[in-house]
Amino acid sequence: MIARALAEALEQRRRDNLYRQRHQLESAQGPTLVVDGKTYLAFASNDYLGLANHPQVVAAFTEAAVHYGVGSGASHLVNGHSREHHLLEEELAAFTGRERALLFSTGYMANMGTLMALLGQGDLVVQDKLNHASLLDGGLASGAKFRRYLHNNIDSLSKTLTLPGQRKLVVTDGVFSMDGDLAPLPEVAACAEAASAWLMVDDAHGIGVLGETGAGTLEHFGLDQNQVPILMATLGKAFGCFGAFVAGSEVLIETLIQFARPYIYTTAMPPAVAAAARASLRLIQSGHERRQQLQALIRQFRAGAGELGATLMDSDTAIQPLLLGGAERTMAVAAYLEQRGILVGAIRPPTVPAGSARLRITLTAGHSADQVEQLLAALAEALVRYPATATD
C-alpha cells in the first residue's frame, strides 16, 4: 500500500513537469562543466567568484589534509574542533565586524540550530514570505508562534510584529535565492527595533559578493551588529567551499554552543575544508576585481536580455531569474539550451509559486563576456521557439 501510494505521487509529479532529476558532475566547478559525459557552458552554479577550483584554495585544502587527515573524527564539543576551525571562526568574526562566529556543517543546520536554540513556546518568529526553506523549517520547528509577512513589505512586517510574544525575532534573507533581489534591510532593522525584536539575516547569497570588501549585504547597507544581531552566511557559494557560520555577540555564540542541537550533535566539518575556506576568505578580501567583473557581466546580461524582450525579475545580483510562467515551457526552454550545450537551472513549484516557473541563471566572475553573449544568442532562439501561451 505504501509503495503504491508513493509511486502514484511520483507519477503525478512527472505529469506536472515537476519531477526532479540528478545529473553526474565529472569535472571541477567552472564556467564549463562536464555533466553526464558532455561538456556544457554552465550558468547554474553558486560559485559566484570562481573560487571552488582556485589553485590557492585547493593547495590550502591539500596541505591541511596531509596534516589533519580527511575526517574531523567527532563533534566540535568532543575532540573535532581543530586549530583551523578556530582560526576560521576568528577571521570570519573580524571580516563581518562581529564579536564572534561559530561554524556549522551546513547552512540548513545553522538556520535550524539558531532558530531552535533561541525560540520556544510563547515567542514570536516573523519571516519574509520568500525566505529559504531552512529558515521556514527552523521557525516551524522552534515551537514559537510562526508568521510570515508579504515579501519585502515593511507595512506587513510592522503589522505582524504587533502580535504578542515574549521574544520576537524577525528573519529574512539578505539576497533571496530564487528572485535575486535584496531585502530592504535598513527598513527591516528599523521596524524590528521599534518592536523590540531581534533581527536575523541569512546572507548566503550576499557574503563575498556584495559590499566594498565582500562582507555581504550588511556591509552593502552599512548595518552593524547592533542593528542586525544575528548573521548567518554560508561557505559553499562565493567562498567556493562548504559549511556555514553564524556571527554575532559573545552571548549569542555561547548560547548556540550550549543549546543549538545541530551544532552539538554533528561531526565537525573536516579541518581541511576550514583551511580551504580561510584561503578563500583571503582571496575575497583582496578580490575587488572579481566583484567588478561579476557586476560588469550582470549589466551585460540584463541589457542583452532586455533587448530580447525577456522577462527578467528585479535583480542586480548574480542570480538572474528569467520568468517563463508555466513549468512545461520552462522545461522546454531549459532542454533546448541543454541541446545547445548550455546548462541553466529550471526552477518550478513547489520551490517557487505556481505560475512563476523560471530559469535561474547565475553568473560568476569566472565567466567571460563572450560566454554571456553565447547564452544570450541561445536564449533568443529558445524564446522564439517556445513563446508564451495563455497558460503560462
Q: Which residues have a catalytic role annotated?
A: 177, 205, 237
Is there a contact between 233 and 244 (Cβ–Cβ < 8 Å)? yes
Specify the DSSP class assigned to residue 182.
B
C-alpha triplet 342, 352, 131: angle, nearest 5°: 115
Distance of CA 40 to CAs 43, 202, 274, 358, 375, Å? Answer: 9, 31, 30, 20, 11
Count Cβ atoms within 10 A of the Cβ of residue 196 and give its class: 0-12 exposed, 13-18 middle, 19 or more buried.
exposed
Q: DSSP letters along 72-94, please?
A: --SBIIIII--HHHHHHHHHHHH
Residue 132 has a CB neighbour count (10 Å cut-off) of 23
Nearest one of 157, 213, 147 to 183, comparing CA atoms: 157
Specify the DSSP class assigned to residue 324.
E
Q: DSSP letters along 246-267, please?
A: EEE-HHHHHHHHHH-HHHHTSB
Nearest one of 350, 300, 308, 291 to 133, comparing CA atoms: 350
Rounded (10°) CA dihedral 190, 191, 195, 199:
-80
Residue 7 has a CB neighbour count (10 Å cut-off) of 10
Beta strand 124-128 with 145-149 is parallel
